[in-house]
Amino acid sequence: MSKQTKLRTQELRHAQVAAAAQQAKRRRFLTWAGALLIVGLVAAIGLSVYKAVNHERTLPAVTGTVVPPQHLTSTGAIPVGAADAPVTVKVYYDYMCSFCGSFEKANTGELDRLVSDGVVRVELHPLAFLDDLSSGTKYSTRTANAIAVVADAAPARAWDFHNALYAQQPAEGSEGLTDEQIGTIATDAGVPASVVDSFTDGTYRPWVASVTKDAFAAGVEHTPTVMIDGKEFTGDLYSVGPLTDAIESAAAGR
Amino acid sequence: MTATLLPPFAEADSPRLHRLRHHNVTVWVTMLLASIASLVASFVLAIDALALAKDPNADLGCNINAVISCGTVGTSWQASLLGFPNAFLGLVFEPAVITLAVASLGGVRFPRWFMFSAQVIYTIALLFAYWLFEQAMFEIGALCPWCLLVTLATTLVFFELAYVNIRDDNLYLPRRVQAALTGLIRSNLDFILVIAWLLILVLAVVLKYGNALFA
C-alpha cells in the first residue's frame, strides 16, 4: 500500500469515527429529552390526580342560621307533582354539573309528562359542591339558593325554573350566569318579581351548605344521583328511555 | 461455551435490559399478551352489547358512575358504527393477530407482502380505535374500562408490529426513511415515544375526568 493510500484510508476511518460519535451524542441527547418528557408527564398526571382528589370535597362552609324553605318534603326535598303519585324520583344535582345537564336534557320531557300524568313525584335535592368551577362567582350556591327561594315563596314555579336553569346551563369553569341573568330566567319561568328580587339576599345559603354536607355524609357520591322509590337508578341516565322504562315498571309494580 | 446469539440492535456489551427489550421472544410475547387482552375485552363488550340489545337499561358490571359507564358508551351510535357492535370486529380480527404472534414465536417467517398487509390493516384498526376513544372522551362524555383496554392493547400490538416490520424491512420504505427508523429503534427512542404517548392519553383522561373519577 502506498503512503498516500494509507493516509486516505486513515482519514476515512477518522471521519467515520467522528460521524459515529456525533450520532451517538445526538441519540444520547434525544434519550435524555425523552426521559425528561416522561418524567414531566408523570409529574403532570400526579399533580392532576392530586388536584382532582382534593377538588370536589371543598363543600361550602355552613355559616349563619340554617333556615329551610317552606313546603319541603319530610326528607328536605323540593317536591314537584302530586303527593299521592305512585312513584317517587329523587334527583341529587348541582346546577353547574355538566352531567346533570346531560341527564336533564335526556329526561326533562319524559319526567314532565310523567309528573303531569300523576305517575311521578319528583323530589329535587339541589346541592352546591361545584362552586370551584365558576371562577369565584359561586354559581352552584347562588342557583341552589334561588331554587330554594322559589320553592318557599312560589312553589308552583319551582319545576319550570329548575328546567329553565338547565336549559341555559353555563359551562363548567366559566363564571356561570350573573344574578341578573338568573333573575331573568326566573321571571320568564313565571316567578313573581318580588320573589326574584330576594334571590340576592342569600337567605337559604346556610341551608344549601348544610344539605350539601348532609347529602355527601349520607352516601351520595356523585351527581346526578337518581333514586326511584329510594333505590338508586344505575341504568343509563343520559339517553331518553331507560329512566322512563324503570319508572313505568315501578309504577306497574304498585 | 458457545456464543449466545445476540438479538438484533444489540452488541455484546449492550446492557441486559436493552438486549431483553430487543429479543424476538419479548416482542412477540408482548404482542401475544396484548392481542389476548384485546380479545377478552372484545368478548366482554360483545356480551354487554347483547345484554344492552335485550334491555338498554341493563345493569352492567362497569357502570360505576357518570364517567365510567359501559352502558352510556355501549348504547351510543358510535358503538355500532357499521351496523353491528364494534366488539364483533375484535372477535374476528384479534384471533388472527394471536395466530401471527404464536406462529412467529414458533419460528415461522411470513412473506414480506403478508407482513406489509398486516401492518396496513392494523393501522386502520388503530385509527378506528382512536376515533372511538376520541368520541367517548369528547362526544359521548363517558369512558368504559373495557374500551380503554382495547385502546391500550391496540396501541401495543400496532407498536410491536411496526417494530418487527421496520426491523425486518417489510414496509417498502425509501432507504433513508428505513435507515432513520432503524436508528430510532436502535437507540430505543421508539420505546420512549410509545411510553410518552400512553402517558399523554392518561393525562388527557385525568385532566378531563379527574374530578369525577377521584371524587
Tell me if chain B has a CB within 8 Å of the CB of A99. Answer: yes
Is the pLDDT at B3 greater than 60, yes or no? no
C-alpha closest to that of A93 among A109, A105, A110: A105
Cα within 13 Å of Cα(B164), Cβ side: 27
B197 occurs within a structural domain: yes
Question: Is B192's CB within 8 Å of A34's CB?
Answer: yes
Q: Using an 8 Å CB-CB cutoff, list chain A residues near B200.
A: 41
> Measured between alpha carbons, how far is B197 from B192 in angstroms, rounded to an integer?
8
Contact A235, B57 (CB under 8 A): yes
Rg (alpha carbons) of chain B, rounded to whole number: 19
What per-residue confidence (pLDDT) applies to B1? 41
Domain at B191, CATH number: 1.20.1440.130
Half-sphere exposure of A170 toward its Cβ, with a 13 Å CA cutoff? 21
Residue A165 reports pLDDT greater than 70: yes
What is the average pLDDT across A165-169? 94
Number of CB atoms found within 10 A of residue B207's CB? 14
Cell of B151: 385502546
User: In the structure, what pLDDT confidence band is assigned to residue A98 with cuts at 50, 70 and 90?
Assistant: confident
* Residue B13 in domain: no
Tell me: pLDDT of A178 over 90.
yes
The DSSP code sequence of A39-92 is HHHHHHHHHHHHHHHTTTT-PPP--S---PPSS--TTS-EEES-TT-SEEEEEE
Number of A–B residue contacts, CB under 8 Å:
97
Give Cβ neighbours of residue A119 (< 8 Å, ≥ 6 apart): A85, A86, A87, A247, A248, A251
- Do the domain assignments include residue B11? no
Residues on chain A touching B213 (C-beta within 8 angstroms): 52
Percent of chain B whose predicted confidence (pLDDT) is above 90: 58
Residues 6+ apart with CB under 8 A from B210: A48, A49, A51, A52, A55
CA A43 to chain centroid: 26
Mean pLDDT lowest among B21-25, B37-41, B44-48, B68-72: B68-72
CA distances from B122 to A6, B161, B201 (A): 52, 9, 20
Is the entire prediction scored with pTM above 0.90?
no
b/e for B47-78, b at 16 or more Cβ within 10 A? ebbebbeeebbbebebbbbbbbbbbbbbbbee
C-alpha torsion sign, points A111, A113, A119, A121: positive
**Position B17 in a domain:** no
Domain containing B182: what range?
A: 22-213
pLDDT in tens, A114-141: 999 999 999 999 999 888 778 789 999 9
Q: Which three cell numbers stand for residue B197?
A: 404517548
What's the confidence (pLDDT) of residue B53? 83
Q: Which of A157-166, A223-232, B52-61 has the highest mean pLDDT?
A: A157-166
> What letter does residue A116 receive in the DSSP assignment?
H
Q: Considering the domain boundaries, does residue B61 fall inside one?
A: yes
C-beta atoms of A34 and B196 within 8 A: yes
Main-chain dihedrals φ then ψ at residue B172, nearest 5 degrees = 55, 45
Q: For residues B41 and B37, what is the distance between their CA atoms, to the nearest angstrom?
A: 6
Q: Is B189 on the interface with A (CB under 8 A)?
A: yes
Closest residue of chain A to B70, computed from CA coordinates: A236
Name which of A176, A46, A43, A100 is nearest B210 in CA terms.
A46
Contacts of A105 (CB under 8 A, 6+ apart): A166
- Residues 6 or more apart from B51 whose CB is under 8 A from it? B58, B60
Q: Is B61 on the interface with A (CB under 8 A)?
A: no
**What is the mean predicted confidence (pLDDT) over B152-167?**
96
Any chain A CB within 8 A of the CB of B188?
A: yes
Average pLDDT over chain B, rounded to whole?
Answer: 88
> Edge to edge, what strands does the sheet with A78-80 contain?
A78-80, A120-126, A87-93, A225-228, A231-232
- Cβ distance B90 to B39 under 8 Å? yes
Alpha carbons A158 and A124: distance in angstroms, whole number? 10
More confident residue, A174 or B159: B159
B77-111: per-residue pLDDT in tens? 888 888 889 999 999 999 999 999 999 999 999 99
- Which one, of A162, A177, A62, lies nearest residue A112 by Cα? A162
Residue at B144 is within a domain: yes
Mutate to test the interface with B, among A238, A240, A244, A245 (most CBs of B within 10 A): A238
Residue B90, in any domain of the structure? yes
Determine, yes or no, domain membership for B12: no
| Structural domains counted in chain B | 1
- What is the ipTM, given to two decimal places? 0.80
